[in-house]
Structure 1
Amino acid sequence: MRSRGPAGGVLLAALVLLAAAGPAAGGRDLDLGAFRSAPSWAHWFGTDGAGRDVFALTAEGLRRSLVIGLGAALLATGLAAGAGAFAGYLGGRCDRLLMAVADVLVVIPAVLLAAVLAASVGGRTPLLVVVLALFLWPVTARAVRARCRSLRAAEFVRAAECAGASPVRVVARHLLPNLVPLLVADATLNVGFAVLAESGLSYLGFGVREPGTSLGTLIAGGTASATVYPWLFLPAALLLSALILACTLLGDALQEAV
């Protein structure tokens, strides 16, 4: 049980290093003498139908998926921290309003609406990050709200209120610092959820689009010929699975620690 966290951290670090190697591998350079060639010393993961190195393309796709996943997780965690903390601390109408918004986002078909929104933004990375974050924050916000409801009667919170601290200052200076372990654990898990969601949207054609590359677009492009040219499909699929596994192991370990 205790080894899951280090194992997830090591695996995630290895994937980050692989993603960083993408630009050095020259994935957009064409090898006109190798079209859909099998893996070799010259091309570790083979080449695609245009003669591009699949290793470099996979590293580039992994890097973009990581950027989208990390950006969406950080934005979602920030939204959840603010909404959950104020809902839990203030209560009343603020609590009901913010949690009603969270309930609506949880109930509606998130994948369908995310596909519609992602299609409308044209696969641009910043807007795709925002779309994914909108559907990730409600669950974390509820956990933050529950924690803040238990903390608002703590002595340090009462002392701050007696000193004349405003609700914003109480939340920012006294409540949120106590929620950092919880937020870090949930953010780690949200990275995996965001990467999986982005890959699914890109696979369906609603996420990243050419000339951009992500793990989802590589999987989508390789599935049609997966039985004939498996190296076009397997590397991206295996890296996606490894990334989800790393985030899950690390996030679960952090949650247990919290």
Structure 2
Amino acid sequence: MENSVPGAAGTARPAGRTTVVLRRFLRGRSAPAGAAVLLLLFLLAFAGPLVSPWDYSHIDYTALRSGPGAAHWWGTNRIGQDVFAQTVRGLQKSLLIGLLVALFSTVLASLVGACAGYFGGWPDRLLMFFVDLLLVFPSFLIIAIISPRLRNGGWVAFVGLLAVFGWMITARVVRSMTLSLKEREFVKAAVYMGVGPLRIIWRHVLPNIASFLIIDATIAVGGAVMSETALSYFGFGVQAPDVSLGTLIASTTGAAVTYPWMFFFPAALLIVFVLAVNLVGDGLRDALDPTSRRAARRAPRRASAPTAEGGRR
């Protein structure tokens, strides 16, 4: 029995990185709550239309600006459309836009930044010049000018516009991280072994900055939803008859005091979603890089801790 215990302990495999990160994430205070809220919002957005007795475009002429009740759970708007059906449809559209914009912008930023940092020379100068050029352009004004001309493309064209102007800062960070990684021994060993540069970027550079990309993409979802809401509020985003959280908030702002249910539900879902995304982003940062929270905790302790001589009498 005594000899079997060390043998059993010796055969146990250490926990993988994914398991360790998941445990750190779940040990957090606010991150699991944020993840649970995000899950509930996604269920509401995609399962809500299935349980609602009303379609978002259906008009009930017998219930104009009706308050929440049994027939209309969240009331109706000024023309008799069901607020619940409209809100879950708008939430669904905003979530899709946010996810796609974050995905496209993160992929573009990682490829451009990694290639610029690894190759250096004229490719680096050319790519960074293009990045700086896009940073100078007023993105909000350009999207406002171009989006009305792309109405035939629907909301997919709007996603492309948001993604084009949402990746430059991330690309610069990826470039600086790649400049540091390409001097590491494992990258130099791959070069000496004759591995191609694109394969090195794919197999060695990008996996080592995946933690940053995951955190950045998570936070970018909330930023993309806020951008979509702002543009749709001014009429440059999702176009009628489709709806998003931005168009719903814009159309019901004037009724926020007299008919609060028309404005409250889309505005509340937008606030809850952005807060939940920020909580998840902070939790992923602490789980993937625990030293960041430790450093933040140690700094005030070191500043306030008394010296050995000061503590003695």
TM-score normalised over the length of structure 2? 0.79
Contact 1:186/1:255 (<8 A) preserved: no
Q: Distance in 2 between matches of 1:188 and 1:68?
A: 13
Partners of 2:48 and 2:59 in 1: how far apart? Answer: 15
1:11 and 1:212 map into 2 onto residues whose CA distance is 25
Letter in 2 for 1:31: D
Counterpart check, 1:182 vs 2:182:
no
Aligned residues: 258
- Give 1:212's aligned residue: 242
Separation in 2 of the partners of 1:56 and 1:181? 37
Runs of 4+ in 1 over 6 A off after TM superposition: none
Q: Match of 2:41, SS?
A: helix
Output the CA distance in 2 between the equivalents of 1:138 and 1:232: 37
Deviates more, 1:145-154 or 1:74-83: 145-154
CA distance in 1, matches of 2:131, 2:228: 21
Q: Which has the larger radius of gyration?
A: 2
Question: Residue type matched to 1:120 in 2?
Answer: R
CA distance in 2 between partners of 1:74 and 1:182 (Å): 14
Following superposition, the deviation at residue 46 of structure 1 comes to: 0.4
1:30 CA displacement: 3.0
**More divergent stretch after superposition (41-50 vs 135-144):** 41-50
**Percent identical:** 47
After TM superposition, give the deviation of residue 146 of structure 1 in Å.
1.5
What's the Cα RMSD here? 1.6
Alpha-carbon deviations, 1:77-110, whole Å to 9, x = none? 0100100111111112212221222222223222
Note the alpha carbon deviations across 1:107-165, whole angstroms, 9 max, x for none: 32221122122222127211111100111111111121111111101121111111111
Unaligned runs of 5+ in 2: 1-26, 290-313
One-letter amino acid matched to 1:156: F
Deviations 1:221-252 (A, max 9, x none): 10122221111111111111111111111112
Shift of 1:50: 2.4
SS at match of 2:220: helix
Unpaired runs of 5+ residues, structure 1, are none
> Equivalents in 2 of 1:116, 1:255: separation in Å?
36
What is aligned with 2:75? 46
Residue 11 (structure 2) aligns with: none
TM-score by length of 1: 0.95
Offset at residue 174 of structure 1 (A): 1.4
Cα distance in 2 between the residues matched to 1:81 and 1:2: 28
Residues 1-258 of structure 1 correspond to what in structure 2 (within 5 A)?
Answer: 2-24=28-50, 25=52, 26-122=55-151, 124-256=154-286, 257-258=288-289
